Structure 1
Amino acid sequence: MKRTMAILARRQASPFIGQATAGLLLCSALLGLFGGVPAWAEANPPRPDKPLPEKASPAKPATPKPPVPTAPTTKPVAAQTAASAAPKPFVPLDQATAIQKANAYFSSAITMVGDFVQVGSDGRRTEGKLYVQRPGRLRFEYAAPATLEIVADGLSLAVHDRRTATKDVYFISQTPLKFLLKDQVDLAQDVKVVEVQSDPSAVTIIIEDKATFGGTSRINLVFDPVKFTLKQWKVTDPQGYETLVSLFNLDLTKKPDPALFQLTQDHL
Structure 2
Amino acid sequence: MTDKTERDARMPVMASRRQFVLGTAALMACAAMPFPSFAATSAAQQIADHFSSVRTMMGEFVQFGPRGEQTGGKFFIERPGKLRFNYEKPSPMRVISDGKNVVIGNTKLKTWDLYPLNKTPLSLLLSERIDLGNQMVRDVKQEADLTTIVLGDRTIFGDSTITLMFDPKSFELRQWTITDVQKKDTSVMIFNVQNGVQFDPSVFEIPYAEVHGQKRGG
Q: Normalising by the residue count of structure 2, what TM-score does the alignment of the two structures yield?
A: 0.70
Aligned-CA RMSD value? 2.5
Matches within 5 A, 1:222-237: 222-237=165-180
Deviation at 1:232? 1.7
Alignment partner, residue 112 of structure 2: 167
Does residue 1:185 correspond to 2:130, yes or no? yes
Secondary structure of 1:182 counterpart: coil
Counterparts of 1:266 and 1:256, CA distance in 2 = 23
Secondary structure of the equivalent of 2:52? helix
Once residues 153 and 191 of structure 1 are traced to their aligned partners in structure 2, the CA distance between those partners, rounded to angstroms, is 28
1:97-116 matches, cutoff 5 A? 97-116=42-61
Give 1:158 deviation, angstroms.
Answer: 0.7
Amino acid at match of 1:202: L
Structure 1 match to 2:162: 219
Partner of 1:78: none
Residue 218 of structure 1, CA deviation: 2.0
Conserved 8 A contact 1:176-1:209:
no
Q: Percent identity?
A: 36
Report the AA paired with residue 219 of structure 1.
Answer: I
Residues 176 and 235 in structure 1, CA contact (< 8 A), matched pair in contact too: no
SS at match of 1:185: coil
Q: CA deviation at 1:250?
A: 0.8
> What is the SS of the residue equivalent to 2:51?
helix
Aligned mate of 1:158, from 103, 121, 131: 103
| Separation (CA, whole Å) in 2 of partners of 1:221 and 1:123 | 19
The aligned residue for residue 137 of structure 1 is: 82
Select the structure that is richer in strand. 2
Cα distance in 1 between the residues matched to 2:159 and 2:128 = 22
Residue aligning to 2:19: none
Post-superposition offset of 1:208 = 2.0
SS class of match (1:189): coil
Listed as ranges, the gaps of 5+ residues in structure 2 are 1-37, 212-218
Q: CA deviation at 1:179?
A: 4.1
How far residue 252 of structure 1 moved from its aligned partner, in angstroms, is: 1.2
Asked if structure 1 preserves the Cα contact closer than 8 Å seen for 2:61 and 2:189, the reply is yes
Aligned residue pairs total 174
**1:191–1:207 CA contact under 8 A, matched in 2:** no
Aligned pairs (5 A) from 1:115-130: 115-130=60-75
Distance 2:155 2:134 in 1: 10
Distance in 1, Cα, partners of 2:52 & 2:113: 28
Q: Secondary structure at the match of 1:145?
A: coil
Residue 194 (1) aligns with residue 138 (2): yes
Q: Conserved in 1, the CA contact under 8 Å of 2:110 and 2:210? A: no
- 1:219–1:137 distance in 2 versus 1, CA, 3 Å: same
Gaps of 5+ in 1: 1-92
Distance 1:99 1:235 in 2: 20
- 1:159-201 Cα distance to aligned partner (Å, 9 max, x none): 1012332111123244344442122112x41451212111122
- Give the counterpart letter for 1:198 in structure 2: Q
Per the TM alignment, residue 130 of structure 1 is displaced from its structure 2 partner at its CA by 0.6
Matches within 5 A, 1:247-258: 247-258=190-201
Change (3 A) 1:242 1:257: farther
Provide closer, same or farther for how the CA distance between residues 113 and 265 of structure 1 changes in structure 2, counting only shifts above 3 A: same
Instruction: Check whether the contact 1:138–1:153 (CA below 8 A) recurs between aligned residues.
Output: yes
Report 1 or 2 for greater relative contact order, CA contacts < 8 Å, sequence distance ≥ 6.
2
Deviations 1:30-65 (A, max 9, x none): xxxxxxxxxxxxxxxxxxxxxxxxxxxxxxxxxxxx
